[in-house]
Amino acid sequence: MQKPLILVTNDDGITAPGLRSLVKFMKEIGDVVVVAPDSPQSGMGHAITLNNTLSANLVTIDAINGVEKEYSCSGTPADCVKMGLQELLERKPDICVSGINHGSNSSINVIYSGTMSAAIEAGIEGIPAIGFSLCDFSWDANFEDTKEFVQKIVQQSLLNGMPKGVVLNVNIPAKQNEPIKGIKICRQARANWKEKFDKRVNPMGQDYYWLTGEFELLDKGEDTDEFALANNYISVVPTQFDLTAHHTIHQLNNWNLNEH
Amino acid sequence: MQKPLILVTNDDGITAPGLRSLVKFMKEIGDVVVVAPDSPQSGMGHAITLNNTLSANLVTIDAINGVEKEYSCSGTPADCVKMGLQELLERKPDICVSGINHGSNSSINVIYSGTMSAAIEAGIEGIPAIGFSLCDFSWDANFEDTKEFVQKIVQQSLLNGMPKGVVLNVNIPAKQNEPIKGIKICRQARANWKEKFDKRVNPMGQDYYWLTGEFELLDKGEDTDEFALANNYISVVPTQFDLTAHHTIHQLNNWNLNEH
Protein backbone atom coordinates (compact mmCIF):
# COMPACT_ATOMS: atom_id res chain seq x y z
CA MET A 1 0.00 0.00 0.00
CA GLN A 2 1.23 3.48 -0.86
CA LYS A 3 2.17 5.49 2.20
CA PRO A 4 0.11 8.64 2.74
CA LEU A 5 1.68 11.85 1.44
CA ILE A 6 1.74 14.47 4.19
CA LEU A 7 2.25 18.18 3.52
CA VAL A 8 3.76 19.89 6.58
CA THR A 9 3.76 23.65 7.09
CA ASN A 10 3.58 26.19 9.91
CA ASP A 11 3.72 29.90 10.70
CA ASP A 12 6.77 30.06 12.97
CA GLY A 13 9.12 29.37 10.07
CA ILE A 14 10.83 26.31 8.65
CA THR A 15 13.50 26.08 11.36
CA ALA A 16 11.07 26.26 14.32
CA PRO A 17 11.41 23.34 16.78
CA GLY A 18 7.63 22.80 16.66
CA LEU A 19 7.76 22.12 12.93
CA ARG A 20 10.86 19.93 13.22
CA SER A 21 9.03 17.79 15.81
CA LEU A 22 5.92 17.56 13.65
CA VAL A 23 8.03 16.45 10.68
CA LYS A 24 9.62 13.74 12.83
CA PHE A 25 6.23 12.49 14.06
CA MET A 26 4.79 12.46 10.53
CA LYS A 27 7.75 10.53 9.06
CA GLU A 28 6.56 7.54 11.12
CA ILE A 29 3.16 7.69 9.38
CA GLY A 30 3.90 8.61 5.76
CA ASP A 31 5.98 10.42 3.18
CA VAL A 32 6.58 14.02 4.17
CA VAL A 33 7.03 17.13 2.06
CA VAL A 34 7.61 20.42 3.88
CA VAL A 35 6.65 23.81 2.42
CA ALA A 36 7.06 26.38 5.16
CA PRO A 37 7.78 30.10 5.52
CA ASP A 38 11.40 31.23 5.51
CA SER A 39 10.68 33.57 8.44
CA PRO A 40 8.20 33.79 11.34
CA GLN A 41 4.65 34.70 10.30
CA SER A 42 2.79 34.80 13.61
CA GLY A 43 -0.43 36.80 13.62
CA MET A 44 -0.59 36.76 9.83
CA GLY A 45 -4.18 35.50 9.82
CA HIS A 46 -5.22 34.40 6.37
CA ALA A 47 -2.96 36.84 4.55
CA ILE A 48 -1.86 36.05 1.00
CA THR A 49 0.76 37.81 -1.09
CA LEU A 50 -0.85 39.75 -3.94
CA ASN A 51 1.46 42.74 -4.34
CA ASN A 52 4.81 41.03 -4.16
CA THR A 53 6.64 38.09 -5.69
CA LEU A 54 7.08 34.67 -4.10
CA SER A 55 9.98 32.26 -4.12
CA ALA A 56 10.55 28.73 -2.88
CA ASN A 57 13.94 27.10 -2.38
CA LEU A 58 14.72 23.45 -1.86
CA VAL A 59 16.58 23.22 1.44
CA THR A 60 17.93 20.70 3.93
CA ILE A 61 17.36 21.65 7.54
CA ASP A 62 18.06 18.47 9.49
CA ALA A 63 18.73 15.61 7.08
CA ILE A 64 18.30 13.06 9.84
CA ASN A 65 14.54 13.10 9.38
CA GLY A 66 14.71 11.71 5.86
CA VAL A 67 12.04 14.08 4.57
CA GLU A 68 11.22 13.64 0.88
CA LYS A 69 11.58 17.29 0.00
CA GLU A 70 11.67 20.50 1.94
CA TYR A 71 10.95 24.00 0.56
CA SER A 72 11.59 27.31 2.26
CA CYS A 73 9.04 29.81 0.93
CA SER A 74 9.05 33.61 1.03
CA GLY A 75 5.30 33.90 1.56
CA THR A 76 2.68 33.61 4.27
CA PRO A 77 1.41 30.24 5.58
CA ALA A 78 -1.54 30.38 3.14
CA ASP A 79 0.89 31.15 0.29
CA CYS A 80 2.98 28.10 1.27
CA VAL A 81 -0.02 25.81 0.94
CA LYS A 82 -1.09 27.34 -2.37
CA MET A 83 2.44 26.99 -3.77
CA GLY A 84 2.85 23.51 -2.39
CA LEU A 85 -0.38 22.22 -3.90
CA GLN A 86 -0.07 23.98 -7.23
CA GLU A 87 3.64 24.08 -8.00
CA LEU A 88 5.81 21.98 -5.71
CA LEU A 89 4.15 18.68 -4.80
CA GLU A 90 4.08 15.92 -7.37
CA ARG A 91 0.68 14.68 -6.27
CA LYS A 92 -2.17 15.84 -4.11
CA PRO A 93 -1.30 15.20 -0.45
CA ASP A 94 -3.50 12.90 1.62
CA ILE A 95 -3.40 15.32 4.50
CA CYS A 96 -1.92 18.70 5.43
CA VAL A 97 -0.67 19.36 8.95
CA SER A 98 0.37 22.77 10.21
CA GLY A 99 2.44 23.51 13.30
CA ILE A 100 3.21 22.55 15.91
CA ASN A 101 2.69 26.20 16.79
CA HIS A 102 4.64 27.71 19.65
CA GLY A 103 1.64 29.14 21.53
CA SER A 104 -2.12 28.70 21.74
CA ASN A 105 -4.54 29.05 18.84
CA SER A 106 -7.61 28.25 20.94
CA SER A 107 -10.87 30.23 21.05
CA ILE A 108 -10.72 33.62 19.27
CA ASN A 109 -7.01 33.16 18.48
CA VAL A 110 -8.07 30.99 15.54
CA ILE A 111 -8.99 34.23 13.73
CA TYR A 112 -5.45 35.63 13.89
CA SER A 113 -3.64 32.35 13.44
CA GLY A 114 -1.23 31.77 10.60
CA THR A 115 -1.03 28.10 11.64
CA MET A 116 -4.76 27.69 11.15
CA SER A 117 -4.85 29.76 7.95
CA ALA A 118 -2.54 27.21 6.34
CA ALA A 119 -4.82 24.37 7.43
CA ILE A 120 -7.91 26.26 6.24
CA GLU A 121 -6.28 26.95 2.87
CA ALA A 122 -5.72 23.21 2.43
CA GLY A 123 -9.29 22.54 3.58
CA ILE A 124 -10.65 24.93 0.94
CA GLU A 125 -8.75 22.86 -1.62
CA GLY A 126 -10.51 19.74 -0.37
CA ILE A 127 -7.55 18.28 1.53
CA PRO A 128 -8.01 16.96 5.09
CA ALA A 129 -6.12 19.41 7.28
CA ILE A 130 -5.18 19.95 10.89
CA GLY A 131 -3.52 22.81 12.76
CA PHE A 132 -1.57 21.81 15.89
CA SER A 133 -0.60 24.27 18.61
CA LEU A 134 1.11 23.81 21.95
CA CYS A 135 0.07 26.31 24.63
CA ASP A 136 3.68 27.20 25.38
CA PHE A 137 5.33 30.13 23.62
CA SER A 138 8.91 29.16 24.51
CA TRP A 139 11.23 28.15 21.71
CA ASP A 140 12.43 25.12 23.73
CA ALA A 141 8.95 23.92 24.66
CA ASN A 142 8.58 20.18 25.19
CA PHE A 143 7.06 18.80 21.99
CA GLU A 144 8.13 15.20 22.56
CA ASP A 145 5.24 14.44 24.94
CA THR A 146 2.72 15.45 22.26
CA LYS A 147 3.83 12.76 19.81
CA GLU A 148 1.37 10.02 20.75
CA PHE A 149 -1.59 12.42 20.56
CA VAL A 150 -0.55 14.17 17.35
CA GLN A 151 -0.04 10.86 15.60
CA LYS A 152 -3.37 9.52 16.91
CA ILE A 153 -5.30 12.54 15.60
CA VAL A 154 -3.62 12.35 12.18
CA GLN A 155 -4.20 8.60 11.92
CA GLN A 156 -7.85 8.92 12.91
CA SER A 157 -8.31 11.70 10.36
CA LEU A 158 -6.82 9.53 7.61
CA LEU A 159 -8.94 6.56 8.72
CA ASN A 160 -12.31 8.30 9.18
CA GLY A 161 -11.97 11.07 6.62
CA MET A 162 -12.58 14.68 7.49
CA PRO A 163 -16.16 16.01 7.64
CA LYS A 164 -16.80 18.13 4.54
CA GLY A 165 -15.88 21.79 4.82
CA VAL A 166 -14.08 21.26 8.12
CA VAL A 167 -10.49 21.44 9.34
CA LEU A 168 -9.36 20.59 12.86
CA ASN A 169 -7.96 23.13 15.30
CA VAL A 170 -5.97 21.13 17.84
CA ASN A 171 -4.53 22.76 20.94
CA ILE A 172 -2.33 20.94 23.42
CA PRO A 173 -1.95 22.06 27.03
CA ALA A 174 1.52 23.13 28.17
CA LYS A 175 3.45 20.54 30.17
CA GLN A 176 2.16 20.19 33.70
CA ASN A 177 2.93 17.95 36.62
CA GLU A 178 0.50 15.25 35.51
CA PRO A 179 0.29 13.62 32.07
CA ILE A 180 -2.27 14.89 29.51
CA LYS A 181 -5.66 13.34 30.36
CA GLY A 182 -6.93 12.75 26.83
CA ILE A 183 -8.50 14.38 23.76
CA LYS A 184 -11.82 16.25 23.76
CA ILE A 185 -13.93 17.45 20.81
CA CYS A 186 -14.89 21.02 21.69
CA ARG A 187 -16.47 24.21 20.47
CA GLN A 188 -14.53 27.48 20.18
CA ALA A 189 -14.87 29.43 23.44
CA ARG A 190 -16.14 33.01 23.32
CA ALA A 191 -13.22 35.24 24.22
CA ASN A 192 -11.39 38.34 23.12
CA TRP A 193 -8.24 40.30 23.76
CA LYS A 194 -8.30 43.42 25.89
CA GLU A 195 -5.79 45.42 23.92
CA LYS A 196 -3.17 47.45 25.66
CA PHE A 197 -1.09 49.68 23.45
CA ASP A 198 2.33 50.32 24.91
CA LYS A 199 2.93 53.91 23.78
CA ARG A 200 6.52 55.11 23.36
CA VAL A 201 8.40 58.01 21.80
CA ASN A 202 10.99 57.39 19.11
CA PRO A 203 14.35 59.21 18.87
CA MET A 204 12.72 61.73 16.48
CA GLY A 205 10.14 62.63 19.14
CA GLN A 206 7.23 60.82 17.44
CA ASP A 207 4.76 58.53 19.20
CA TYR A 208 4.65 54.87 18.33
CA TYR A 209 2.96 51.82 19.81
CA TRP A 210 3.49 48.15 20.53
CA LEU A 211 0.33 46.05 20.44
CA THR A 212 -0.04 43.98 23.61
CA GLY A 213 -3.10 42.67 25.36
CA GLU A 214 -4.70 40.48 27.94
CA PHE A 215 -6.77 37.46 27.07
CA GLU A 216 -10.35 37.68 28.33
CA LEU A 217 -12.45 34.51 28.49
CA LEU A 218 -16.16 35.37 28.15
CA ASP A 219 -17.50 31.82 28.22
CA LYS A 220 -18.29 29.55 31.16
CA GLY A 221 -19.21 26.56 28.99
CA GLU A 222 -17.71 23.19 29.85
CA ASP A 223 -17.74 22.11 26.21
CA THR A 224 -15.22 24.72 25.06
CA ASP A 225 -11.59 24.42 24.03
CA GLU A 226 -10.54 26.72 26.89
CA PHE A 227 -12.27 24.49 29.44
CA ALA A 228 -10.63 21.37 28.04
CA LEU A 229 -7.18 22.98 28.06
CA ALA A 230 -7.62 24.32 31.60
CA ASN A 231 -8.37 20.75 32.68
CA ASN A 232 -5.29 19.31 30.95
CA TYR A 233 -7.10 17.84 27.93
CA ILE A 234 -6.15 18.35 24.29
CA SER A 235 -8.90 20.34 22.53
CA VAL A 236 -10.05 19.52 19.00
CA VAL A 237 -12.39 22.11 17.45
CA PRO A 238 -13.94 21.33 14.06
CA THR A 239 -13.46 24.65 12.26
CA GLN A 240 -15.30 25.75 9.15
CA PHE A 241 -14.64 28.26 6.40
CA ASP A 242 -18.29 28.81 5.55
CA LEU A 243 -18.58 31.83 7.83
CA THR A 244 -22.33 32.26 7.22
CA ALA A 245 -24.32 32.69 10.41
CA HIS A 246 -27.15 30.63 8.92
CA HIS A 247 -29.29 30.91 12.06
CA THR A 248 -29.58 34.69 11.66
CA ILE A 249 -30.77 34.81 8.05
CA HIS A 250 -34.42 34.65 9.06
CA GLN A 251 -33.96 37.53 11.50
CA LEU A 252 -32.22 39.71 8.90
CA ASN A 253 -35.00 39.04 6.41
CA ASN A 254 -37.26 41.02 8.74
CA TRP A 255 -35.20 44.19 8.30
CA ASN A 256 -36.69 46.81 5.97
CA LEU A 257 -33.91 46.77 3.45
CA ASN A 258 -35.97 46.98 0.30
CA GLU A 259 -38.58 49.57 1.22
CA HIS A 260 -38.24 53.24 0.41
CA MET B 1 -30.37 63.18 20.28
CA GLN B 2 -26.68 62.46 19.96
CA LYS B 3 -25.68 61.53 16.43
CA PRO B 4 -24.28 58.03 16.05
CA LEU B 5 -20.49 57.81 16.08
CA ILE B 6 -19.25 55.90 13.04
CA LEU B 7 -15.76 54.41 12.76
CA VAL B 8 -14.72 54.12 9.11
CA THR B 9 -11.82 52.00 7.93
CA ASN B 10 -10.79 49.92 4.91
CA ASP B 11 -7.97 47.86 3.42
CA ASP B 12 -7.21 49.81 0.25
CA GLY B 13 -5.67 52.67 2.25
CA ILE B 14 -6.89 56.01 3.54
CA THR B 15 -6.77 57.79 0.17
CA ALA B 16 -8.77 55.15 -1.76
CA PRO B 17 -11.84 56.53 -3.56
CA GLY B 18 -13.99 53.77 -2.05
CA LEU B 19 -13.22 54.97 1.47
CA ARG B 20 -13.64 58.62 0.54
CA SER B 21 -17.13 57.80 -0.80
CA LEU B 22 -18.04 55.82 2.32
CA VAL B 23 -16.95 58.72 4.52
CA LYS B 24 -19.15 61.08 2.52
CA PHE B 25 -22.15 58.76 2.80
CA MET B 26 -21.64 58.28 6.55
CA LYS B 27 -21.33 62.02 7.24
CA GLU B 28 -25.02 62.29 6.33
CA ILE B 29 -25.89 59.77 9.06
CA GLY B 30 -23.57 60.56 11.96
CA ASP B 31 -20.24 61.78 13.26
CA VAL B 32 -17.38 60.10 11.47
CA VAL B 33 -13.89 59.17 12.66
CA VAL B 34 -11.57 57.50 10.16
CA VAL B 35 -8.75 55.15 11.19
CA ALA B 36 -7.41 53.55 8.02
CA PRO B 37 -4.15 52.05 6.75
CA ASP B 38 -1.54 54.40 5.30
CA SER B 39 -0.98 51.95 2.42
CA PRO B 40 -2.95 49.26 0.56
CA GLN B 41 -3.48 46.05 2.58
CA SER B 42 -5.42 43.86 0.15
CA GLY B 43 -5.28 40.15 0.87
CA MET B 44 -4.07 40.76 4.41
CA GLY B 45 -6.77 38.52 5.88
CA HIS B 46 -6.99 38.94 9.62
CA ALA B 47 -3.31 39.80 10.05
CA ILE B 48 -2.23 41.81 13.09
CA THR B 49 1.14 43.40 13.78
CA LEU B 50 2.95 41.57 16.58
CA ASN B 51 6.60 41.91 15.59
CA ASN B 52 6.68 45.55 14.60
CA THR B 53 5.67 48.94 15.93
CA LEU B 54 2.54 50.85 14.96
CA SER B 55 1.93 54.54 14.43
CA ALA B 56 -1.12 56.69 13.76
CA ASN B 57 -1.03 60.24 12.46
CA LEU B 58 -3.84 62.77 12.41
CA VAL B 59 -4.29 63.78 8.77
CA THR B 60 -6.57 65.80 6.50
CA ILE B 61 -7.30 64.12 3.21
CA ASP B 62 -10.23 66.05 1.77
CA ALA B 63 -11.41 68.61 4.31
CA ILE B 64 -14.63 69.13 2.40
CA ASN B 65 -16.18 66.13 4.10
CA GLY B 66 -16.02 67.69 7.54
CA VAL B 67 -14.92 64.46 9.21
CA GLU B 68 -14.39 64.75 12.97
CA LYS B 69 -10.96 63.19 12.95
CA GLU B 70 -8.95 61.15 10.53
CA TYR B 71 -5.98 58.92 11.39
CA SER B 72 -3.54 57.32 8.96
CA CYS B 73 -2.25 54.13 10.60
CA SER B 74 0.83 52.05 9.77
CA GLY B 75 -0.85 48.72 10.52
CA THR B 76 -3.25 46.23 8.99
CA PRO B 77 -7.03 46.77 8.88
CA ALA B 78 -7.44 44.75 12.10
CA ASP B 79 -4.71 46.86 13.74
CA CYS B 80 -6.56 50.03 12.70
CA VAL B 81 -9.71 48.90 14.46
CA LYS B 82 -7.82 47.84 17.59
CA MET B 83 -5.99 51.18 17.74
CA GLY B 84 -9.13 53.14 16.98
CA LEU B 85 -11.14 51.51 19.73
CA GLN B 86 -8.43 51.44 22.36
CA GLU B 87 -6.35 54.56 21.75
CA LEU B 88 -7.84 57.03 19.30
CA LEU B 89 -11.62 57.32 19.67
CA GLU B 90 -13.00 59.25 22.58
CA ARG B 91 -16.00 56.95 22.98
CA LYS B 92 -17.11 53.56 21.75
CA PRO B 93 -18.48 53.91 18.22
CA ASP B 94 -22.10 52.97 17.52
CA ILE B 95 -21.06 51.17 14.35
CA CYS B 96 -17.93 50.36 12.35
CA VAL B 97 -18.03 50.35 8.56
CA SER B 98 -15.18 49.09 6.39
CA GLY B 99 -14.68 49.78 2.69
CA ILE B 100 -16.00 50.43 0.21
CA ASN B 101 -13.56 47.86 -1.10
CA HIS B 102 -12.41 48.07 -4.70
CA GLY B 103 -13.29 44.49 -5.66
CA SER B 104 -15.47 41.63 -4.47
CA ASN B 105 -15.31 40.02 -1.04
CA SER B 106 -18.11 37.56 -1.77
CA SER B 107 -18.05 33.79 -1.15
CA ILE B 108 -14.61 32.41 -0.21
CA ASN B 109 -12.99 35.83 -0.66
CA VAL B 110 -14.23 36.72 2.83
CA ILE B 111 -11.41 34.54 4.19
CA TYR B 112 -8.67 36.63 2.54
CA SER B 113 -10.35 39.98 2.97
CA GLY B 114 -8.73 42.82 4.87
CA THR B 115 -11.98 44.77 4.53
CA MET B 116 -13.88 42.06 6.36
CA SER B 117 -11.13 41.47 8.93
CA ALA B 118 -11.59 45.06 10.09
CA ALA B 119 -15.35 44.53 10.43
CA ILE B 120 -14.82 41.21 12.23
CA GLU B 121 -12.36 42.80 14.62
CA ALA B 122 -14.99 45.39 15.56
CA GLY B 123 -17.59 42.62 15.86
CA ILE B 124 -15.36 40.72 18.29
CA GLU B 125 -15.29 43.88 20.40
CA GLY B 126 -19.10 43.91 20.44
CA ILE B 127 -19.56 46.75 17.96
CA PRO B 128 -22.06 46.42 15.10
CA ALA B 129 -19.93 46.21 11.97
CA ILE B 130 -20.30 45.98 8.22
CA GLY B 131 -17.84 45.42 5.39
CA PHE B 132 -18.81 46.94 2.03
CA SER B 133 -17.31 45.88 -1.29
CA LEU B 134 -18.02 46.89 -4.86
CA CYS B 135 -17.38 44.16 -7.43
CA ASP B 136 -15.25 46.48 -9.54
CA PHE B 137 -11.47 46.57 -9.06
CA SER B 138 -10.90 49.82 -10.92
CA TRP B 139 -9.70 52.85 -8.96
CA ASP B 140 -12.30 55.07 -10.65
CA ALA B 141 -15.23 52.70 -10.09
CA ASN B 142 -18.64 54.33 -9.71
CA PHE B 143 -19.35 54.46 -5.98
CA GLU B 144 -22.00 57.19 -6.18
CA ASP B 145 -24.77 54.80 -7.23
CA THR B 146 -24.18 52.70 -4.11
CA LYS B 147 -25.02 55.55 -1.71
CA GLU B 148 -28.72 54.85 -1.20
CA PHE B 149 -28.08 51.16 -0.47
CA VAL B 150 -25.07 51.67 1.78
CA GLN B 151 -26.94 54.23 3.85
CA LYS B 152 -30.02 52.01 4.06
CA ILE B 153 -28.02 49.04 5.34
CA VAL B 154 -26.22 51.16 7.95
CA GLN B 155 -29.46 52.78 9.10
CA GLN B 156 -31.24 49.45 9.38
CA SER B 157 -28.30 48.04 11.35
CA LEU B 158 -28.44 50.97 13.78
CA LEU B 159 -32.23 50.64 14.06
CA ASN B 160 -32.53 46.87 14.46
CA GLY B 161 -29.24 46.11 16.18
CA MET B 162 -26.88 43.47 14.90
CA PRO B 163 -27.51 39.80 15.74
CA LYS B 164 -25.03 38.70 18.41
CA GLY B 165 -21.68 37.42 17.13
CA VAL B 166 -22.41 38.53 13.58
CA VAL B 167 -21.01 41.13 11.18
CA LEU B 168 -22.39 41.84 7.72
CA ASN B 169 -20.50 41.13 4.51
CA VAL B 170 -22.09 43.37 1.88
CA ASN B 171 -21.15 43.04 -1.79
CA ILE B 172 -22.47 45.37 -4.47
CA PRO B 173 -22.61 44.36 -8.14
CA ALA B 174 -20.51 46.40 -10.58
CA LYS B 175 -22.40 48.99 -12.60
CA GLN B 176 -24.51 47.46 -15.34
CA ASN B 177 -26.98 48.76 -17.86
CA GLU B 178 -29.91 48.45 -15.48
CA PRO B 179 -30.17 49.83 -11.93
CA ILE B 180 -29.44 47.53 -8.95
CA LYS B 181 -32.57 45.46 -8.25
CA GLY B 182 -32.43 45.44 -4.47
CA ILE B 183 -30.80 43.85 -1.41
CA LYS B 184 -30.80 40.12 -0.62
CA ILE B 185 -29.81 38.32 2.59
CA CYS B 186 -27.64 35.41 1.42
CA ARG B 187 -25.35 32.63 2.47
CA GLN B 188 -21.69 32.47 1.46
CA ALA B 189 -21.39 30.50 -1.80
CA ARG B 190 -19.02 27.53 -1.94
CA ALA B 191 -16.14 28.52 -4.19
CA ASN B 192 -12.39 28.54 -4.40
CA TRP B 193 -9.53 29.93 -6.46
CA LYS B 194 -7.77 27.77 -8.98
CA GLU B 195 -4.30 29.10 -8.41
CA LYS B 196 -2.02 29.82 -11.31
CA PHE B 197 1.52 30.73 -10.44
CA ASP B 198 3.12 32.91 -13.06
CA LYS B 199 6.73 31.65 -12.92
CA ARG B 200 9.52 34.00 -14.00
CA VAL B 201 13.29 34.25 -13.75
CA ASN B 202 14.91 37.23 -12.05
CA PRO B 203 18.05 39.02 -13.32
CA MET B 204 20.15 36.77 -11.04
CA GLY B 205 18.77 33.68 -12.78
CA GLN B 206 16.54 32.59 -9.88
CA ASP B 207 12.92 31.50 -10.23
CA TYR B 208 10.18 33.58 -8.68
CA TYR B 209 6.38 33.58 -8.86
CA TRP B 210 3.40 35.87 -9.01
CA LEU B 211 0.25 34.45 -7.44
CA THR B 212 -2.70 34.64 -9.83
CA GLY B 213 -5.79 32.53 -10.15
CA GLU B 214 -9.20 31.91 -11.55
CA PHE B 215 -12.33 32.05 -9.46
CA GLU B 216 -14.24 28.77 -9.42
CA LEU B 217 -17.85 28.73 -8.23
CA LEU B 218 -18.77 25.31 -6.82
CA ASP B 219 -22.30 26.14 -5.74
CA LYS B 220 -25.52 26.17 -7.74
CA GLY B 221 -27.65 27.47 -4.86
CA GLU B 222 -29.99 30.37 -5.54
CA ASP B 223 -29.65 31.62 -1.96
CA THR B 224 -25.94 32.48 -2.28
CA ASP B 225 -24.15 35.80 -2.52
CA GLU B 226 -22.77 34.85 -5.94
CA PHE B 227 -26.25 34.16 -7.28
CA ALA B 228 -27.56 37.48 -5.95
CA LEU B 229 -24.66 39.42 -7.46
CA ALA B 230 -24.98 37.65 -10.82
CA ASN B 231 -28.61 38.78 -10.86
CA ASN B 232 -27.76 42.40 -10.05
CA TYR B 233 -28.75 42.30 -6.39
CA ILE B 234 -26.65 43.50 -3.47
CA SER B 235 -25.71 40.51 -1.27
CA VAL B 236 -25.69 40.69 2.52
CA VAL B 237 -24.15 37.67 4.26
CA PRO B 238 -24.33 37.48 8.06
CA THR B 239 -20.79 36.41 8.91
CA GLN B 240 -19.67 34.90 12.21
CA PHE B 241 -16.37 34.59 14.02
CA ASP B 242 -17.34 31.49 15.96
CA LEU B 243 -15.78 29.16 13.39
CA THR B 244 -16.95 25.98 15.15
CA ALA B 245 -18.64 23.50 12.80
CA HIS B 246 -21.12 22.61 15.55
CA HIS B 247 -22.96 20.10 13.34
CA THR B 248 -19.87 17.88 13.09
CA ILE B 249 -19.08 17.55 16.80
CA HIS B 250 -21.27 14.46 17.16
CA GLN B 251 -19.53 12.79 14.20
CA LEU B 252 -16.07 13.52 15.58
CA ASN B 253 -17.06 12.10 18.95
CA ASN B 254 -17.29 8.72 17.20
CA TRP B 255 -13.60 8.75 16.30
CA ASN B 256 -11.37 6.55 18.44
CA LEU B 257 -9.23 9.33 19.81
CA ASN B 258 -8.93 8.12 23.37
CA GLU B 259 -8.35 4.41 22.90
CA HIS B 260 -4.93 2.81 22.84
What is the structure's pLDDT at B132? Answer: 98
Q: Which residues contact A109 (CB under 8 A, 6 or more apart)?
A: none
Domain membership of residue B70 (yes or no) is yes
Domain membership of residue A20 (yes or no) is yes
In our burial notation (b when 16+ CB lie closer than 10 A, e otherwise), range B74-85 reads bbbbbbbbbbbb
Nearest-CA residue of chain B relative to A81? B195
Tell whether the model's pLDDT for residue B260 goes beyond 70.
no
Question: Cβ contact (<8 Å) for B255 and A87?
Answer: no
DSSP B173: P
Tens digits of per-residue pLDDT, A165-194? 999 999 999 988 899 999 999 999 999 998
> What residues 89-148 of chain A have any CB closer than 8 A to a CB of chain B?
108, 110-112, 117, 120, 124-125
Q: Which range among B98-102, B127-131, B199-203 shows the weakest confidence by mean pLDDT?
A: B199-203
> Which residues on chain A are in Cβ contact (under 8 Å) with B124?
108, 111, 192
What is the band of B42 on the pLDDT scale with cuts at 50, 70, 90?
A: confident
Handedness of CA B93, B98, B100, B104 (dihedral sign): negative
What is the structure's pLDDT at A176? Answer: 83
- B170 in Cβ contact with B132 (< 8 Å): yes
Tell whether the model's pLDDT for residue A94 goes beyond 90.
yes
> Which residues on chain B are in Cβ contact (under 8 Å) with A210?
53-54
Tens digits of per-residue pLDDT, A108-160? 999 999 999 999 999 999 999 999 999 998 888 999 999 999 999 999 999 99
What is the structure's pLDDT at B257? Answer: 95
Domain membership of residue A170 (yes or no) is yes
> Which residues on chain B are in Cβ contact (under 8 Å) with A156?
255-257
- Number of structural domains chain B divides into: 1
Question: Cβ contact (<8 Å) for B87 and A199?
Answer: yes
Distance in Å from the first CA to the final CA of chain B: 66
Pairing of β B129-134 and β B166-172: parallel
**Residue B162's domain spans which residues?**
5-189+221-252
Tens digits of per-residue pLDDT, A14-63? 999 999 999 999 999 999 999 999 988 877 778 888 878 899 999 988 86
What is the structure's pLDDT at A195? Answer: 84
Pairing of β B69-73 and β B129-134: unpaired
Which has more confidence, A79 or A64?
A79
Answer whether A248 touches B (CB < 8 Å): yes
What is the band of B235 on the pLDDT scale with cuts at 50, 70, 90?
A: very high
Domain membership of residue B93 (yes or no) is yes
Domain membership of residue A201 (yes or no) is no
Q: What is the rounded average pLDDT of the residues B161-179?
A: 94
Pairing of β A233-240 and β A182-185: parallel
Domain membership of residue B196 (yes or no) is no
- pTM, rounded to two decimals: 0.93
User: For position B9, which CATH number holds?
Assistant: 3.40.1210.10
> Which residues on chain A are in Cβ contact (under 8 Å) with B163?
245, 248, 251-252
Domain membership of residue A121 (yes or no) is yes
Identify the burial level of B240 via C-beta atoms within 10 angstroms of its C-beta, where 0-12 means exposed, 13-18 middle and 19 or more buried: buried
> What residues 176-205 of chain A have any CB closer than 8 A to a CB of chain B?
182-183, 185, 187-188, 190, 192, 195-197, 199-200
> Which residues on chain A are in Cβ contact (under 8 Å) with B40?
51
Tell whether the model's pLDDT for residue B140 goes beyond 80.
yes
Question: Cβ contact (<8 Å) for B124 and A108?
Answer: yes
What is the structure's pLDDT at A65? Answer: 59
Question: Cβ contact (<8 Å) for B53 and A210?
Answer: yes
Domain membership of residue A216 (yes or no) is no
Backbone dihedral region of A103: left (phi > 0), alpha (psi from -120 to 50 degrees) or beta? left
d(CA A39, CA A76): 9
